[in-house]
Structure 1
Amino acid sequence: MGTRYGCNPTSVPLQFDAEEKTANCTAYGEWVLDETSGDAFDLVVTSERQSVPVQSESWDSTEEAAVEGYQDYLSRWADSGANVLVIKDPPYPGNTIDSIPDCLAENPGNAQECSGTREEWHWMDPVTTAALDMGHTRIHTVDMDGYFCADGSCPAVVGSVVTYFDASHITATYLERPILQALRH
């Protein structure tokens, strides 16, 4: 279907650096909702990190407003007959590390220096919160944190595979090997 950086499926306007971006993002979200509602697809899959605050909100007050906007979109999808899967955003190393690969390069042989904990790498996930709070039969969630954090640690390297290619995006190799292989079994 397509993606646009920072345009999340929410009815609340997001705070971009120009009003035109906010308006375009809101319009794009409505278009996506229209195109994916009803029986257009077997399943609508969504996952996002709240990368900009809600318009007229601070980061401290964004989560509550964002949950409301996501609940609106999720209920509109589900009420149209669409089945929706919300994938919880994975832990966010960007809270403590600028770049996992750079950190690994600066700490050869000591990947633990580039690892974190769930608490350190926690970031708000209002779309997952919205989905869980709704309890709608057409809305489901998947939490894959267990593939990133275990025994209190979120490693930068699992086996010999680097987990993130920056401070927030999963490497294709990590997705392909450990995660997809585990899901297949």
Structure 2
Amino acid sequence: MVQATELTDDRLILAALGSLPGIGSVTISEALKRYGTPIELWQTVQKDKAVDDTLQVKKQYKSALVKGILTMDLGKLEHDLNNYHIQVVGFHDEAYPEELREIFNPPQVLFYRGNLKTFKNPRKIAMVGARNCTPYGRNVATVFAAELARYGIAVVSGGARGIDSYAHEGALKGHGQTIAVMGCGLDQSYPRSNA
């Protein structure tokens, strides 16, 4: 059984890297290939105020990486992660979802809340649809998701208004597992009605 991930120094710095403006998975991946660990990358940039010229990313991303590392307040980030019960898992973590390892340009950092073992459920189905759905669509999404949940199938959706919300609601009514892939930070609920 996969347990919650402890917020180690390595994961805290990985969370910081994943929070830097203008920095995406490719830059993080290349930086970690060059420096080995998030801590080594962080400490080297803190000391040298620069990244190695051999880092295989565009100059603008190198600059954003250095600026972000030099200005990030790790204490505040740790407080926010704990305050919102947000946990972190990295691409090289054992707990990282296997399905995501297979996609093009997988996220190097995942922020999550809840039970990470849901990712390990081999039976998942994605349910998405209109935000302004009909009553029929709402009913079908809710009933269908509840029935799937009763069979142990985890429902994955985006947590948006409409069909996504009803799919999650149905999975919960069926006492099942649900995964919401959020398009916003985990420190906020969008839409607020889904809090």
Q: With structure 1 as the length reference, what TM-score do the two structures score?
A: 0.29
Structure whose CA Rg is larger: 2
| Bigger helix share | 2
Return the structure number with greater relative CO, CA threshold 8 A, min gap 6. 1
Q: With structure 2 as the length reference, what TM-score do the two structures score?
A: 0.28
